[in-house]
Amino acid sequence: MMETIRRISGVNPRKCMKCGKCTASCPAYDEMEFHPHQFVDMVETGRIEELMQSKGIYTCLSCFACVERCPRSVEPAKLIEAVRLAVLRQQNENHLTANDIAEKLDPELPQQAITSAFRKYRK
């Protein structure tokens, strides 16, 4: 599993020097139980199951602040996406379904919000 995450993300977690810049930059910190630097560490040490159980994989905003500011170009956001994909690609693990959408709509909501949610949260 660890290898799968590394392969599809293209991230080498060994590049991390554990400075905490990603976690310092993360705007979604309060919404996640594991924070970007922990993602990197847990992928390196093989704690993938815990990450897959974590709700934080759906709250990452994909804002790329961690990617931009990481001094070692580790790209934590790619790991988070890889873990999320590992979950979604299992059977019946879609985080969002078409049935959920109706109640979330409002008249001003741009199409982009729905498209992106489907792209991020289901397979």
Residues that bind another protein in the complex, under the rule CB under 8 A:
7-10, 15, 17-31, 35, 37, 58-59, 61-65, 67-73, 75, 77-78, 81-82, 85, 96, 104, 106, 108-117, 119-120
In whole angstroms, the minimum distance from the beta carbon of 49 to another protein comes to 19
Question: Residue 35 — left, alpha, or beta (φ > 0 → left; ψ -120 to 50 → alpha)?
Answer: beta
Containing 55, the helix (H) or strand (E) segment is none
**Min CB(46)–another protein separation in Å:** 19
**What sections of the chain are H helices per DSSP?**
2-9, 21-25, 36-44, 48-53, 65-69, 76-88, 98-104, 111-121
- Residue 91 or 112: the one with the smaller Cβ distance to another protein is 112
Of the pair 18, 91, the CB lying nearest another protein is at 18
Minimum CB separation from another protein for residue 73, in Å? 5
Q: Give CA–CA dist 83/94, Å, rounded.
A: 13
